[in-house]
Every structure is written in structure tokens, then in C-alpha cells.
Chain A
Amino acid sequence: MSAREVHGVWSWATLVVAFIGTLVLFAATERRYFEYASWTREIRASLETASLLQEKETTVLRAVIVMQSPKVGFGSTVERVEFTLDRDGRHLGYFFTLPGEMVVEPVAGAGAGARTRITVTKEAPRELVAGVLAVEEARPAGEADGESVGVRFAGDVVLEVALPRGGKLLRVPVKGEVKVGDGA
């Protein structure tokens, strides 16, 4: 066998080995990506309750969000909750939770998936209170407290998902109605 023929054989062998290695790397990567994509498709967040409560001299926004995720999947931590409050298309404000304004706890006996309860307690700024009070005053007399005044909660639960090579932020949308009541 001449040197040129040996080089030809080596060339093909290197190409085939490199191609097989490439396919193996791609299959491993794509399998994890498929798992992640299907996991993110199944994860859900719903607003269980949300209310603006008057507590002595302050007004507090309290929201309970329940997250349902597939039991087998990726480890994740709740980073924060970001949301806006609107009423009849009027923007009342954009908010996000700071450390200490959110309690995350797993829900026992959730069945097929893993459930997490997120309790958000945030002091409402004066502008928001003034905006909601203006709405309240405009309502017809005789309507009971605690009923919806049409304030809409819309936002995202921001999760940090632990992936094989680093973390990725994932936003799970959540929306619902906010009730106004007296919490004292």
C-alpha cells in the first residue's frame, strides 16, 4: 500500500469516526432539549386568590399562586413573581417581589405532578390604593366588600431551571382577578 493510499484510508476513517462522534453528541444534547421543551410545555401556574387587604394603616396585596409541574423533570427554584395590575385597560402599576415578600412551599399529596404554593405578600403603594379606592367610590352603593372590582392581575412566575450546564430563566404566565376587602 502506497503512502497516498494509506492517507486516503486514514482520511475516510477520521471522517467516519468524527461523524459518529458528532451524531452521539447531538443525540445526547437533543434528548435533554426534548425533555426540557416538553417539561416547559406542561408546567402551569394559576392564581388561587388575590386580594387587596386594608390592615390598620397599610394596604397589603396578598396573592396565592399554585404551580403544577410534571413530577419527573428539572430542578427549579422560584426567583420572583412579576405582575401588573390593570382595571378596564387602565394600568395601575408594575410590581415584582423582593426577598421576604414571597413564601414558597410544596403542597403534599399532589397526585401525578409536583405542586408548589407561592404566597405573595406585598405592601401596596399609595398610588395603587388611591387608584383602587377611586374605583370603589365609583361603584353603586350596596355592593358587598370582597367582591371583584375588575382589577386584573397578570404576570409571570420567574423560575430558575437547573440545567446540565447552567441555569435558565423560565417565565410561567399567571393571571386572574383581585378582590378588595378588609383584612383587619
Chain B
Amino acid sequence: MVREETPRRGMRAAGVAVRAILLAGMGSICLAVLQLGDFTPVPSAWSLLIPVLGGVAIGPARMSIHEVIGCVAVVLVLSPILAPSLVALPASAIERAGVVRAALRNSLAADGLLLLPCVLGGIVIGRWVAGVSTCRSEPMRERR
């Protein structure tokens, strides 16, 4: 019994970790694109759709509430750490330290104000859509 349970738990943990890392990557790109607004092919506000979509992807996943909270925490911590290096990538060696400092300040501000509400909003939308589709696919069983 224990032998069967361990790989299943491992797989589940790996799935959650991969989701959290992908979401953190998306969050950091979102923060970087928000700061490079003059260079984006579409209005930079559209980049907020990224964390919303990330949240929507997390919503219907088979994850416990603790795992969802863990995922969101990883996104909130890693995104503002990764975003400044993405912003400072093309800067010259002389400018880099200043660019990283400014980008870190902006990222930390946008992290709680924009990224968190978008991810949470996406999770709510995802859960709602999953709930609606479950009700439609199994209406009779639900009524009994």
C-alpha cells in the first residue's frame, strides 16, 4: 500500500512543482513586459492576461487548497526576483546595476498590486468554469 502511494505522491508533487515554475516564469515575463511597455507589439496592459490565464490553468487542476496557495506563493516570490534580469538583459554593463535596481522596485510594486489579483482572479474563473462544466456533464447524478 505504502509502495503504491509513494510514487503517486511524488508524481503529484512534481506536477505541482512544474506548474509553480511555469507560472513563476510567466509572472516574471508579465512584470518585465509591463516595464518595457514602449516596445511591446500590443498594449502592455494586455500582458496582464498572462497571469489571468495562468490562474485559469490552476483553477480546474486536481490540487488541494494548500498546493494552490503554495503555487501562488512561489509565483509571488520568484517573479519579482526574475523580472529585473529580463529587463536588464540588453542594457550595457555600465547601466545594468541601475536598470536592475529600478526594475526590482517596479516589480515589487506590481507584484502585489497587479500580479496577485490577476492570478487569484484567474483561479476563481478557472474553478467556476470547471464547476459549470461538471454540472453540465453530470446533471442527473448531481440532482440525485
The answer on a CB contact under 8 Å between B57 and A14 is yes
Q: Hey, which chain B residues are within 8 Å of A32, CB to CB?
A: 39, 41
- B interface, size bucket: 35 or more
Q: B48-82, CB under 8 A of A: which get 1 and which 0?
A: 00100110111111100000000000000000000
Question: B107 to nearest A CB, angstroms?
Answer: 15
* Residue A15 at the chain B interface, CB threshold 8 Å: yes
Interface centre among B43, B50, B56, B60 (most CB of A within 10 A): B60
Q: How many residues of A contact B (CB 8 A)?
A: 33
- Assuming the contacts A19-B22, A37-B91, asked whether A29 and B40 have C-beta atoms less than 8 A apart, the reply is yes
The answer on a CB contact under 8 Å between A8 and B61 is yes
The answer on a CB contact under 8 Å between B41 and A29 is yes
* Residue A108 at the chain B interface, CB threshold 8 Å: no
* Residue A98 at the chain B interface, CB threshold 8 Å: no
Q: Which of B11-56 contact A (CB under 8 A)?
A: 19, 22-23, 25-26, 29-30, 32-33, 36-44, 47, 50, 53-54, 56
**Interface residue from A12, A25, A37 paired with B41 (Cβ < 8 Å):** A25
The answer on a CB contact under 8 Å between A7 and B43 is no
Q: Which of A6-31 contact B (CB under 8 A)?
A: 6-8, 10-12, 14-15, 17-19, 21-23, 25-26, 28-30
Chain B interface, >50% SS class? helix
The answer on a CB contact under 8 Å between A37 and B90 is yes
How many A-B Cβ pairs are below 8 Å? 108
The answer on a CB contact under 8 Å between B57 and A33 is no
The answer on a CB contact under 8 Å between B130 and A7 is yes
**Interface residue from A3, A23, A37, A168 paired with B38 (Cβ < 8 Å):** A168
The answer on a CB contact under 8 Å between B60 and A10 is yes
Question: B43 to nearest A CB, angstroms?
Answer: 7
The answer on a CB contact under 8 Å between A33 and B130 is no
A and B contact pairs by CB, cutoff 8 A, 30 listed: A3-B134, A3-B137, A3-B138, A4-B62, A6-B137, A8-B62, A11-B59, A14-B56, A14-B126, A15-B22, A15-B57, A18-B54, A19-B25, A22-B26, A22-B50, A23-B29, A25-B33, A25-B40, A25-B41, A25-B42, A25-B50, A26-B86, A28-B41, A34-B89, A36-B90, A37-B91, A37-B92, A164-B39, A164-B41, A165-B40
Give me the interface of A with B, judged by CB distance under 8 Å.
Answer: 3-4, 6-8, 10-12, 14-15, 17-19, 21-23, 25-26, 28-30, 32-34, 36-38, 41, 163-166, 168
Q: A14-B56, A29-B32 are in contact. List 17 more A-B contacts (CB 8 A).
A: A3-B134, A3-B137, A3-B138, A11-B126, A18-B57, A21-B53, A22-B29, A22-B30, A26-B29, A29-B33, A30-B39, A32-B41, A33-B36, A33-B90, A163-B38, A165-B40, A165-B43
